[in-house]
Chain A
Amino acid sequence: MATGRDDFIIAIRSAFLKKGNRQKFSLFTLLVASCLILSLEYFKSGPVDIFRSITRDIIYRGAYIISSPFKAISNTYYNFEDHMNMYAKYSEMKNKEYEINKLQNEINFYKAENNKLREIVSDPKVLSNKFIVTRVIVDKQSPFLKSIIINKGFESGIKKGMPVLEKSYMIGRVVETNYMSSRILLINDLNSKIPVIIEPSNTNAILNGSGKDYGDLEYLPKNNSVAENHIVYTSGSDGIFEAGIPIGKVNIKQDKKIVSFFVDLSQLNFIKIKTNIE
Chain B
Amino acid sequence: MGIKSNRLYKNFIESFPIVFLFFLVFTSFDLSIDYILNISFNLVYILIFFWILKKPEALGVGLIFLAGIINDVLLNLPIGISSINYLILSGIASFIRSRTLKPNLLYDWFFFLLSILIVNSIYFIVLTLIFSLSINYQLLLTNSFFTFLIYPLFSKIFNKIYLLNINKQND
Contacts and interface: CB of A to CB of B under 8 A. Distances in A.
Contacts of A12: 95
A37 B79 CA distance: 7
B155 interface: no
Given A15-B95, A16-B91, A145-B75, A211 B136 contact: yes
A145 B61 contact: no
A12 to B, nearest CB: 6
A147 B77 CA distance: 11
B79 A144 contact: no
Nearest to A55: B73
Given A20-B61, A38-B79, A38-B84, A11 B28 contact: no
B84 A63 contact: no
B75 A142 contact: yes
B76 A38 contact: no
Interface in B21-80: 23, 26-30, 32, 34-35, 40, 56-57, 60-62, 64-65, 68-70, 73-80
Interface of A: 7, 10-12, 14-16, 20-27, 30-31, 33-41, 52, 55-56, 59-60, 62-63, 66-67, 70, 138-145, 147, 149, 175-176, 183, 185, 190-191, 211-213, 266
B80 A14 contact: no
Given A20-B57, A34-B83, A143-B139, A213 B73 contact: no
B117 interface: no
A26 B62 CA distance: 9
8 contacts: A15-B91, A15-B95, A20-B60, A27-B61, A33-B65, A55-B73, A66-B23, A212-B35
Interface of B is mostly: helix
Contact of B65 (A34, A143, A145): A34
A173 B141 CA distance: 28
B104 interface: no
B56 A63 contact: no
Given A11-B95, A34-B84, A66 B27 contact: yes
Contact of A34 (B77, B87, B94, B143): B87
A23 B60 contact: yes
B61 A183 contact: no
Contacts of B143: 143
Interface centre among A22, A34, A55, A63, by most chain B C-beta atoms within 10 angstroms, is A34
Contacts of A15: 91-92, 94-95, 97-98
A41 B127 CA distance: 12
Given A15-B91, A16-B94, A70-B29, 5 more contacts: A30-B83, A34-B83, A37-B80, A56-B73, A142-B30
Contacts of A30: 61-62, 64-65, 83, 87
Nearest to B34: A143
A27 B90 contact: yes
B28 A67 contact: yes
B113 interface: no
Contacts of A10: 98
